[in-house]
């Protein structure tokens, strides 16, 4: 093979590798700031070095609050430091995504923060997912949203400035509530699917309802049983599916019934009428509409 052809093939291979492991490649080619538990990077030209160090310090401080809240360690000894990539927004939207990658055959935890670096969206949620390895999407989002509500940005998805319980009560009132048994451990039942190594949304209304319900159910369990029970749920669920009976002494269906009774009893006092109005106007865009209203009041 001619030297020029070989170089072209190697270049194509490098592009393919970076497409599969983009945060690793970005970290290697852009600036990197390191903290006790994090490797924070940005694409070349994306974030100045000084600003990246500030973002790294802020993200480590947020992680410290999460670790203190859950009485957990960061898992560095098992999985290495969590890799954070501050990237440009995707399709004009600000969000954060957690996923597992591999580096030299070793599992690596990565969080991509897309846009809004000054006020990251869902960052506490996804840092919690990095700390709590969890295959079941319901349990993973329950813990993540609980962290976001208390320690992160309450204006972020799926709350958008309205409490999780208000959304839950509004979903009941508008007859768009999804039974928890219908929210499986994978993406499809959440209105999402994996495509080319990335998770995309095909039903935004269902996605928002599912995430809001996970947040509200987590709040109910936290208020009723406390953090230690939720930590035990996380531990036991590693080798058995949704061990609610073992942890809480009741089945998922029984816990759900108690949670729904509380929501219907207290809904009017939870700003539920506004959430219900937004759901009736546009289920898929209700969260974003709530965020705009919240921003307009500030």
Of the candidates 133, 136, 125, 73, the one whose C-alpha atom is nearest the C-alpha of residue 108 is 133
pLDDT attached to residue 113: 95
pLDDT attached to residue 26: 43
Residues of the domain holding 241: 134-298
Of the candidates 1, 27, 25, the one whose C-alpha atom is nearest the C-alpha of residue 13 is 25
Does residue 236 lie within any of the structural domains?
Answer: yes
Does residue 12 lie within any of the structural domains?
Answer: no
30 confidence band (pLDDT: 50, 70, 90): confident
Q: Which stretch of DSSP H or E encloses residue 85?
A: strand 82-87
Q: Could you tell me whether strands 95-103 and 192-195 are parallel, antiparallel, or unpaired per DSSP bridges?
A: unpaired
295 confidence band (pLDDT: 50, 70, 90): low
Joined together, the tokens standing for residue 135 give 């295959």
Mean pLDDT of 14-36: 57
Does residue 245 lie within any of the structural domains?
Answer: yes
Query: Number of folded domains in the chain?
Result: 2
Same domain flag for 180 and 217: yes
pLDDT attached to residue 49: 75
Same domain flag for 140 and 247: yes
Asked which of 132, 152, 182 is the last residue of a domain, the reply is 132
Does residue 296 lie within any of the structural domains?
Answer: yes
Does residue 34 lie within any of the structural domains?
Answer: yes
Residues sharing a CB contact under 8 Å with residue 165, sequence separation 6 or more, in sequence order? 216, 219, 220, 263, 266, 267, 270
Query: What CATH number is associated with residue 54?
Result: 3.30.2010
Q: Using only C-alpha atoms, what is the Rg of the chain?
A: 20
Q: How far apart are CA 181 and CA 252, in angstroms?
A: 8
197 confidence band (pLDDT: 50, 70, 90): low
Same domain flag for 113 and 55: yes
Same domain flag for 277 and 151: yes
Q: Are 193 and 199 spatial neighbours (Cβ–Cβ below 8 Å)?
A: yes
Same domain flag for 199 and 222: yes
Same domain flag for 172 and 256: yes
Q: How far apart are CA 196 and CA 22, in angstroms?
A: 13
Asked which of 132, 153, 180 is the last residue of a domain, the reply is 132
pLDDT digits (tens, 9 = 90+) for 10-24: 333 333 334 334 444
Same domain flag for 245 and 264: yes
pLDDT digits (tens, 9 = 90+) for 108-152: 999 999 988 888 999 999 999 999 989 999 999 999 999 999 999
Q: How far apart are CA 36 and CA 8, in angstroms?
A: 40
Q: How far apart are CA 211 and CA 140, in angstroms?
A: 10
Q: How far apart are CA 84 and CA 123, in angstroms?
A: 10
pLDDT attached to residue 100: 92
Mean pLDDT of 64-70: 97
Q: Which stretch of DSSP H or E encloses residue 66?
A: helix 49-70
Of the candidates 131, 183, 191, the one whose C-alpha atom is nearest the C-alpha of residue 157 is 191
pLDDT digits (tens, 9 = 90+) for 207-260: 999 999 999 999 999 999 999 999 999 999 999 999 999 999 999 999 999 999
């Amino acid at each position: 093979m001619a030297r020029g052809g070989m170089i072209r093939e190697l270049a194509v291979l490098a592009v393919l590798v970076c497409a599969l492991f983009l945060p690793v490649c970005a970290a290697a080619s852009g600036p990197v700031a390191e903290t006790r538990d994090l490797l924070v990077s940005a694409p070349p030209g994306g974030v100045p070095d000084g600003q990246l160090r500030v973002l790294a310090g802020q993200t480590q401080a947020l992680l410290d609050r999460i670790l203190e809240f859950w009485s957990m360690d960061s898992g560095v000894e098992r999985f290495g430091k969590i890799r954070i990539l501050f990237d440009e927004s995707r399709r004009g939207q600000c969000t954060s995504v957690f996923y597992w990658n591999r580096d030299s055959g070793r599992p690596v935890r990565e969080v991509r923060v897309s846009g809004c670096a000054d006020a990251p969206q869902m960052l506490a949620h996804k840092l919690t997912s990095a700390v709590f390895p969890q295959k079941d999407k319901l349990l993973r989002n329950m813990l993540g949203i609980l962290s976001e509500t208390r320690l992160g940005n309450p204006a972020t998805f799926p709350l958008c400035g309205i409490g999780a319980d208000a959304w839950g009560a509004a979903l009941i009132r508008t007859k768009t509530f999804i039974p928890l048994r219908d929210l499986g451990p994978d993406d499809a039942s959440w209105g999402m699917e994996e495509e080319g190594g990335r998770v995309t949304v095909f039903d935004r209304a269902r996605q928002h309802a599912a995430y809001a319900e996970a947040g509200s159910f987590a709040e109910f369990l936290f208020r009723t049983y406390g953090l230690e029970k939720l930590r035990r749920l996380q531990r036991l669920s590693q080798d058995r599916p949704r061990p609610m009976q073992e942890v809480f002494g009741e089945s998922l269906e029984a816990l759900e019934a108690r949670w729904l009774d509380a929501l219907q009893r207290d809904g009017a006092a939870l700003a539920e009428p506004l959430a219900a109005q937004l759901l009736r106007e546009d289920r898929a865009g209700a969260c974003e509409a709530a965020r705009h209203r919240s921003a307009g009041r500030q």
